[in-house]
Amino acid sequence: MLIRKIKQVVLLAAMGFIFLLPHSASALSVNPFNTSQTQSELRADLDKKPLLEVTIPGLNFSNISSSTNENGTYFYIAWIPELISALYKFGLAIVSIVAAVVIVVQGVRVIGSGGGEGKTEAYKKSLQSVIGLFIAWGSYAILYNINPALVQFNALKVKVVDAVPLDPLYVGSDEITITADELTPATQASGDTPYAKLTSICKPAGTGSASTLQQILPTWVDIGSHGGAQYVRGGWKDGSGCTSFGANNWWLLNFFEKHNISPPVPNTPTNVGNMSAADQKALNKDTTLNAALLKYYNEKVVPNYTSAGVLCGDCGTWIQQLYLCSGMAKNIKTNRFYEEGSNRCDAPYCLAGDPQKTCGEVASTIPGGLKFGDIFRSLAFGHWFLYTGGAGLPYEMAQMGGQGPEDRCGKIPGIDGKVTCVNPATKISNFYMWGKGKGCYIFRVYQ
């Protein structure tokens, strides 16, 4: 009985030791979501060998090897085969010790036995222990003869995937993908300035429709995308010229920095383009600073656009002026189609909207799908853009925004550096992620 208890204790201890080993290995510090790691940084992380809380005799993890060929770079990690091999050897030692103890104990029983069943039982257990030792020590040869692959544990081969920088989230097209030939105006515009040409094709108020919008849009995109319409935070007011209806401090300071303009306002922050969202929010609360910056912007900057004779506006007011030119009966700039900040789709023109969904998700809920002239409002970027598909045009979206190359958007005298003009895009789906987490609304003026 005592011998049996000893055997059970030894076996249970060995089994518990082996089964607890996988839970004793400490995790590596490699972050699988850190896609910015270089190969050298990744190698430095992988060279941190696993540390086991329970030491296995004879186990020494090797360093990771690597090779490079025309298909790329590969790392070879042999830790798992090494662990399995060490566990096999350790288990073999445990089995040998247990078998030796059993043989010795049974030998004592044979010597002390006078014969009979006790002696026969001792011989039987001794024979079983010898057979167990033979199987344990000969298992490699047995498995090898069955299938050599059963005893071959190859190192894990891992291909290094180089980080590929993704394009930033589309926030206004920076280059046009439509050629000048494809943007030939559909109607004949005349006038001495771009603004005069654009307004010369406008329809009488109250005659607007999707058809009249389709007639003037190619001209507005063609002239506007070649410098005839420029981005100003505001629009063309009462026919008297460009003016800004308002802009926050961060936008104004960022504009001044980009165009090397030094407003005569003391102690203004610099490098605002690198500000955190919290710092931007705090900066925009300074109403005194805003009044001074906006005054300077309207007096010293905006008149340059008026003098150049271009149509001016931001992403929203450009669409408003486009619709007025198409013959819309009244100006729709009041609250910009819906109550700003309400995040509700309760305006007369609102088709669908959600304060959490992306523009693509909202578009998918519109019965019958999008129609030419539908207007998108992304709350995530505060941006408006126009759906122009379904009219045979080589672009599905038109917007005021994105700087574009200088040779296309032109130069405004008195403004240093790139200026911003109209930018169409071949696929509106490029903008479907806009609004993620902050909502998107879609409006239809011409039913």
Name the pLDDT band for 275 (thresholds 50, 70, 90): confident
Regarding whether 319 and 413 lie in a shared domain, the answer is yes
Q: Phi, psi (5° rounding) for residue 143?
A: -65, -40
Please tell me which of 108-112, 347-351, 358-362 the model is most confident about, judged by mean pLDDT. Answer: 358-362
Q: Is residue 169, in this structure, part of any structural domain at all?
A: no
Under the banding of pLDDT at 50, 70 and 90, the label for residue 387 is very high
Asked if the structure places residue 175 within a domain, the reply is no
Residues 203-210 have a mean pLDDT of 89
- The total number of structural domains in the chain stands at 3
Q: Is the pLDDT of residue 385 over 60?
A: yes
Q: Are 188 and 263 in the same domain?
A: no
Q: Are the beta carbons of 424 and 408 closer than 8 angstroms?
A: no
Identify residue 378 by its one-letter amino acid code.
Answer: S
* pTM for the predicted model, two decimal places: 0.58
Task: Pick the last residue of a domain from 307, 331, 347.
Answer: 307
Domain check: are 50 and 152 in the same one?
yes
- Residue 413 domain boundaries: 181-232+314-443
Token digits of residue 42: 């990744």
* Spacing of C-alpha 67 from chain mean position: 31
Residue 52 and residue 130 in one domain:
yes
Residue given tokens 């690198």 in the structure block = 274
What pLDDT, on a 0 to 100 scale, did the predictor assign at position 6?
43
Average pLDDT over residues 358-363: 88
- Looking at the structure, tell me whether residues 201 and 77 fall in a common domain: no
Can you name the residues that pair with 159 across neighbouring β-strands?
Answer: 74
CA distances from 245 to 233, 262, 294, 314 (A): 7, 21, 9, 10
The pLDDT value recorded for residue 108 is: 80
The answer to whether residues 318 and 432 belong to one domain is: yes
Tell me the three state secondary structure of residue 235.
strand
Q: Look at residue 35 and tell me whether its pLDDT is greater than 60.
A: no
Residue type, 394: P
Q: Which of 58-67, 143-152, 223-232, 345-354 has the highest mean pLDDT?
A: 223-232
Residue type for position 158: V
Do 117 and 257 have their domain in common?
no
Residue whose entry in the numeric block shows the structure tokens 């040998």:
96
Given this model, what pLDDT does residue 436 score? Answer: 64
Q: Each residue of 284-312: pLDDT tens digit? A: 899 999 899 989 998 889 899 989 999 88
**Together in a domain, 57 and 129:** yes
The DSSP code sequence of 55-113 is: PPTT--PPPPEEEEETTEEEEEE-HHHHHHHHHHHHHHHHHHHHHHHHHHHHHHHHHH-
The answer on 214 and 127 residing in a single domain is: no
User: Could you tell me the pLDDT band of residue 129, with boundaries at 50, 70 and 90?
Assistant: confident
* Gap between the Cα atoms of 355 and 342, Å rounded: 10
pLDDT of residue 220: 93
The residue that leads in pLDDT, 341 or 382, is 382
Kindly state whether residues 193 and 125 are assigned to the same domain.
no
Say what the pLDDT of residue 39 is. 57
Q: Verify that 324 and 202 share a domain, yes or no.
A: yes
> How are the residues of the chain apportioned to helix, strand and coil, as percentages rounded to the nearest 5?
45, 15, 45
Contact (Cβ atoms closer than 8 angstroms) between residue 443 and residue 349: yes
Helices (H) and strands (E) in the chain, counts: 13, 13
User: Mean per-residue pLDDT for 429-441?
Assistant: 75
